[in-house]
């Protein structure tokens, strides 16, 4: 029988008390606490369920939703609704998986998607599988936002400053891209970490809900243009038809990007044994995705009902609204819609830039074992803004690649979380969770390969308008 000395008992109490204190302040982790506190994503752990909802809503809904009706032009009503509903439920389930995997039983918090994949698949395989898609989603989405935000600025200027009453000379598309990039970079330079942009994410979430609701409501109230049709366009061959369907699935997948930010958002929250971070995180996510569903489904259904196959290819609902109802809709309403798109694009740019900036700064802190100087952090932000401006100017055809982008990013949302759950949680073989995650993970990878193939085939057969270094 073991005995306990009088001195051991108070010591154990002190150790237990110290451990409880460390857990309460959210630092009981096996990660390097110094380096973690130096990086933009985990520099501040003062988040809560409200911040979770703001960030998730801002990253989960945006201008990519405006192209959703294009998927219906190929899939039709029944299959369009079925695929949209299936992907929504599927990605919500994998979102739950990621939230549960954020904290391991050993105490380690995986506050970055890349870190979790490395823990699950191994360091080198994890980097190989996740580095490109996550950085691609981070930087690629910001490039897309420069194009959408700059284009919305151009439209807003045309609506406010009419040629008959305004003597100001309008900027070129390239000029508006530059204006948007400068504004986005200035805001980014003022926000040192992910937790500090909670207010920006709230503004972005409100404006996203605002313009999505305005666009589908106005489109339905104004009615369909003459000659609207819901018959899918005829394909030249069976292979072309299949590639169009796969491209439509890629568009739906692209509308649900944002999983590469879930762990990062959760990393801004404190965690304790009494209330681990997964509780407030999931509470905020449930609210956010309820609102996302209330935006995306009416937008897809209302947009397809209003315009059918007449939706401008690769441009979506915003351009359809201006094209078919620009003359019979209040200019103030059109101006407000454009303004909302601009503000939301500026806000979303902030949250999607953080993973790339965090990755850049982590390389500096790992090498020199000290925080990144403020001047260097500012230079990183300016460099990121310059790249975000250069790419859409050099490759203005990127909106035509929505299906391809969705296919490449699809495993991040639908496949990897299922495999990571199996490898980390190790559910009992042949159990319901084991079987479900294997089926969903393998299906996600197969669909991703097929979608990428379909998108490439559609580009090769149909072609794209490539105005290199000449944005229209």
Q: What is the pLDDT of residue 254?
A: 74
- Residue 119 CA to residue 296 CA, distance in Å, equals 34
Beta bridge partners of 103: 109
Q: What is the pLDDT of residue 10?
A: 47
pTM, to two decimals: 0.85
Q: What is the pLDDT of residue 123?
A: 87
Q: What is the pLDDT of residue 14?
A: 47
- Report residue 143 as tokens: 């490039």
Q: What is the pLDDT of residue 462?
A: 63
pLDDT over 70, % of the chain: 86
Best CA proximity match to 318, nearest among 332, 331, 299, 301: 299
* Tokens 């203005």 -> residue: 396
Residue 428 CB coordination number (10 Å):
8
Confidence of residue 472 (pLDDT cuts 50, 70, 90): low
Instruction: Judge contact between 396 and 94, C-beta under 8 A.
Output: no
- Residue 426 CA to residue 419 CA, distance in Å, equals 10
Each domain of the chain, given as residue ranges in start order, spans 42-462
pLDDT per position as a tens digit, 360-396? 988 888 888 888 888 888 899 999 888 888 887 776 6
Containing 169, the helix (H) or strand (E) segment is none
Q: Which architecture, in CATH terms, is 42-462? A: Orthogonal Bundle (1.10)
Best CA proximity match to 98, nearest among 87, 110, 106, 86: 110
CA dihedral 92, 93, 98, 104 (to 10 degrees): 150
- Write b or e for each residue in 431-445: b if 16 or more Cβ atoms lie within 10 A of its Cβ, otherwise e: eeebeebeebbeebb
pLDDT per position as a tens digit, 46-62? 888 999 999 999 888 87
Contact residues for 200 (Cβ-Cβ < 8 A; gap 6+): 58, 187, 191, 347, 350, 351
- Residue 378 CA to residue 385 CA, distance in Å, equals 11
- Residue 58 CA to residue 224 CA, distance in Å, equals 30
13 vs 4, 10, 305, 414, CA distance in Å?
13, 5, 67, 45
CA 380 from chain centre, in angstroms, equals 21
- Report residue 293 as tokens: 């569903």
- Report residue 80 as tokens: 């369009």
DSSP code per residue over 42-98: TS-----HHHHHHHHHHHHSSGGGGGHHHHHHHHHHHHHHHHHHHHHHHHHHHHHHH
Residue 350, CB-side half-sphere exposure with 13 Å CA sphere: 32
pLDDT over 90, % of the chain: 27
Best CA proximity match to 256, nearest among 39, 463, 451: 451
- Report residue 338 as tokens: 């454009």
Q: Is the pLDDT at 2 greater than 50, yes or no?
A: no
- Residue 159 CA to residue 127 CA, distance in Å, equals 47
Q: Which of 28-42, 146-160, 425-439 has the lowest mean pLDDT?
A: 28-42
Confidence of residue 313 (pLDDT cuts 50, 70, 90): low
Instruction: Judge contact between 56 and 96, C-beta under 8 A.
Output: no
Q: Is the pLDDT at 468 greater than 70, yes or no?
A: no
């Amino acid at each position: 029988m073991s005995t306990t000395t009088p001195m051991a008992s108070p010591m154990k109490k002190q150790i237990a008390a110290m451990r409880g204190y460390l857990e309460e302040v959210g630092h009981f982790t096996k990660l390097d606490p110094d380096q973690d506190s130096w990086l933009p994503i985990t520099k501040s752990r003062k988040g809560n369920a409200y911040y979770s909802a703001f960030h998730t809503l801002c990253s989960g809904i945006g201008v990519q939703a405006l192209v959703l009706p294009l998927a219906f032009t190929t899939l039709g009503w029944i299959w369009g609704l079925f695929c949209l509903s299936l992907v929504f439920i599927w990605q919500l389930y994998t979102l739950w998986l990621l939230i549960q995997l954020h904290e391991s039983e050993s105490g380690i918090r995986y506050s970055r998607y890349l870190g979790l994949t490395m823990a699950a698949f191994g360091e080198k395989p994890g980097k190989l599988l996740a580095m490109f898609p996550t950085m691609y989603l981070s930087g690629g989405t910001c490039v897309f936002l420069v194009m959408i935000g700059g284009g919305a600025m151009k439209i807003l200027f045309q609506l406010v400053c009419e040629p008959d009453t305004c003597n100001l000379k309008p900027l070129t598309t390239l000029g508006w891209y530059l204006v948007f990039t400068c504004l986005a970079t200035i805001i980014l330079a003022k926000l040192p970490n992910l937790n500090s942009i909670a207010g920006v994410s709230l503004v972005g979430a409100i404006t996203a809900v605002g313009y999505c609701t305005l666009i589908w409501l106005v489109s339905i109230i104004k009615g369909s243009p003459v000659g609207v049709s819901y018959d899918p366009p005829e394909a030249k061959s069976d292979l072309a038809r299949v590639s169009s369907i796969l491209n439509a699935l890629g568009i739906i997948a692209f509308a649900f990007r944002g999983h590469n930010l879930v762990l990062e958002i959760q990393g801004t929250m404190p965690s304790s044994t009494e209330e681990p971070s997964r509780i407030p995180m999931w509470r905020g996510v449930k609210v956010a995705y309820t609102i996302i569903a209330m935006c995306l489904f009416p937008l897809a259904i209302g947009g397809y009902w209003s315009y059918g196959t007449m939706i401008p290819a690769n441009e979506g609902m915003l351009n359809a609204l201006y094209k078919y109802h620009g003359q019979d809709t209040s200019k103030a309403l059109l101006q407000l819609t454009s303004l909302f798109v601009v503000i939301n694009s500026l806000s979303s740019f902030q949250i999607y830039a953080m993973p790339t900036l965090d990755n850049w700064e982590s390389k500096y802190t790992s090498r020199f074992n000290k925080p990144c100087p403020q001047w260097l952090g500012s230079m990183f932000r300016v460099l990121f803004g310059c790249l975000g401006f250069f790419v859409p100017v050099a490759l203005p055809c990127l909106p035509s690649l929505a299906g391809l982008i969705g296919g490449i990013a699809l495993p991040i949302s639908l496949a990897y979380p299922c495999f990571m759950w199996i490898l980390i949680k190790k559910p009992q073989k042949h159990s319901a969770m084991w079987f479900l995650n294997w089926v969903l993970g393998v299906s996600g990878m197969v669909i991703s390969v097929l979608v990428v193939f379909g998108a490439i085939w559609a580009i090769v057969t149909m072609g794209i308008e490539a105005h290199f270094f000449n944005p229209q």
